[in-house]
Structure 1
Amino acid sequence: MPPVYDRRLLEVLQRIDNASRDAARPVPRLLAVSKRHSATAVADLALAWAGSGLLLPVSLGENYVQEAVAKRAELNGHDGLPDQEWHLIGHLQANKAREAATAFDWVQTVDRARLVDALARHRPAGGQPLNVLLQVNVDAEAGKHGCAPEAIPALAEAVSGKPTLRLRGLMAIPTPHEEIERRRPAFAQLHRLFTDLQARYPGVDTLSMGMSDDLEVAIAEGATMVRVGTALFGART
């Protein structure tokens, strides 16, 4: 296993711990964003993860259904890897819902009722429900995926009424202002939306926000999961 993955993981975990301590916040979960990185790189990170003391399974985020399916198949051929938990963090078209409903443990980008219905229909009954986060377009950016904040209650009700789905919380990608502090208001608004949702649905426990360059601000504003790619895997090619 290349030592670079041990070093990068340790550095990210130290950043997370420092940010949590400085903000007096609980330590959030780490989601390793593995999109466009090879199965070999993911396997190396998984081994570093298992040796770091982090809770298993290894949490991995992918943007594309087909890429994730192919990567999972390749990783199944690696001996000695810890269990993985797969999160879809990219936009999902309804015609891909059948495959996504069985290929992933979490879908973090549910933003419309049609997708709720499709995922619920294709997730096998009798097994573990599919964990769902509602993606919010918190800054109302034109052309950006995610529901409007005012649409959260209706979508949450739709998810909670499906026995094959489990509502876990919210996800967002705020406007990537060059000045990191300018992102703080969006993170704070997301946390308010999250606590409102928790008040109605006690099972809600996940606020997925913050990435490699702004995880400290996201944690300070209440993130319970941060999505880190570049700081773990390096730049994508």
Structure 2
Amino acid sequence: MTNDALSDSLARVRQRLARALESAGRPAGDARMLAVSKTQPAAAIRHAHRLDQRHFGESYLQEALDKQAELDDLDDIVWHFVGPLQSNKTRAVAERFAWVHSVDRLKVARRLSEQRPDALPPLNICLQVNISREASKSGVMPEALGELARAVAALPGLSLRGLMAIPAPAETFDAQRRPLAELRTCLDDLKRTLDAPLDTLSMGMSGDLEAAVAEGATLVRLGTAVFGSR
């Protein structure tokens, strides 16, 4: 994608997000765009940064580390790890990222806690919930969420911020909303029982942004809509 095309697509996505917030009766800026930049070159991230995009999501660790090294001069980028995380790769994530959206096991959370450098602020954590109960998807089942959340909230070096989900695809707006509403209910339930800064719903992608915003998303993860097809 050329720089001009990226500029245009970023502007369109920002307008789309603003319209979705307005339609949902939510304040402007109440949801933030996370530009999912996996498989995109560092040059595309640099151009998006020039256009005031600051939050970027990566899924492949070595690719992300290479891009972080190339973009080291941009010290205000906020890096989010959004892909599946194996326990043997947690150290680099704990050292180099500000957010992890894909925690679904206590073993991984403990390793992130132990490996987060003391000089850095707490690592922001979203627990991934398998809200559609798909055998092929990662994520903790909703009925096991409370136990995992209590354990993660107690770990040093981590800040449990909220929940993430990747629901099964749905064709209609109402069908898209149903699992997202369930995720919002899960977060509301946790807020009543946990002493943690639970302020984040990481949900919504290029195909269901409007439904996610209608159900209270605070971070929408947009890849194709920003950078085009991979």
* SS of residue paired to 2:201: strand
| TM-score (normalizing by structure 2) | 0.93
Unaligned runs of 5+ residues in structure 2 are: none
- How far apart are the structure 2 equivalents of 1:157 and 1:149? 14
1:188-227 per-position Cα deviation (integer Å, ceiling 9, x unaligned): 1011111112223351110000011110011001111100
Contact 2:3/2:44 (<8 A) preserved: no
Q: What corresponds to 1:55 in structure 2?
A: none
- How far apart are the structure 1 equivalents of 2:159 and 2:61? 20
- How far apart are the structure 2 equivalents of 1:192 and 1:86? 27
The reply on whether 1:185 has 2:188 as its aligned counterpart is no
- How far apart are the structure 2 equivalents of 1:85 and 1:111? 22
Contact 1:9/1:49 (<8 A) preserved: no
Deviation for aligned residue 1:185: 0.6
Q: What corresponds to 2:62 in structure 1?
A: 66
Residue type of the partner of 1:188? A
- How far apart are the structure 1 equivalents of 2:164 and 2:42? 25
Contact 1:138/1:190 (<8 A) preserved: yes
Deviation for aligned residue 1:151: 1.6
Contact 2:35/2:55 (<8 A) preserved: yes
1:122-175 per-position Cα deviation (integer Å, ceiling 9, x unaligned): 111242011000000001101210001122211111221112000000000000
Deviation for aligned residue 1:3: 2.5
Q: What corresponds to 1:90 in structure 2?
A: 83
Residue type of the partner of 1:76? D
| TM-score (normalizing by structure 1) | 0.90
| Residues 202 and 118 of structure 1, relative CA distance in 2, 3 Å threshold | closer
Moved over 4 A (4+): none
Contact 1:5/1:48 (<8 A) preserved: no
Aligned residue runs from structure 1 range 52-201, under 5 A: 58-76=54-72, 81=74, 83-199=76-192, 200-201=194-195
Deviation for aligned residue 1:182: 1.9
1:25-44 per-position Cα deviation (integer Å, ceiling 9, x unaligned): 24301100000000011111
What RMSD in Å do the two structures reach over aligned CA positions? Answer: 1.6
Q: What corresponds to 2:4 in structure 1?
A: 3
Contact 1:171/1:208 (<8 A) preserved: yes
Contact 2:184/2:201 (<8 A) preserved: yes
* SS of residue paired to 2:51: helix
The reply on whether 1:44 has 2:40 as its aligned counterpart is no
Between the two proteins, the alignment pairs up a number of residues equal to 226
The reply on whether 1:229 has 2:223 as its aligned counterpart is yes
Unaligned runs of 5+ residues in structure 1 are: 51-57
Q: What corresponds to 1:207 in structure 2?
A: 201
- How far apart are the structure 1 equivalents of 2:63 and 2:81? 11
- How far apart are the structure 1 equivalents of 2:142 and 2:3? 43
Deviation for aligned residue 1:82: 6.3
Q: What corresponds to 1:25 in structure 2?
A: 26
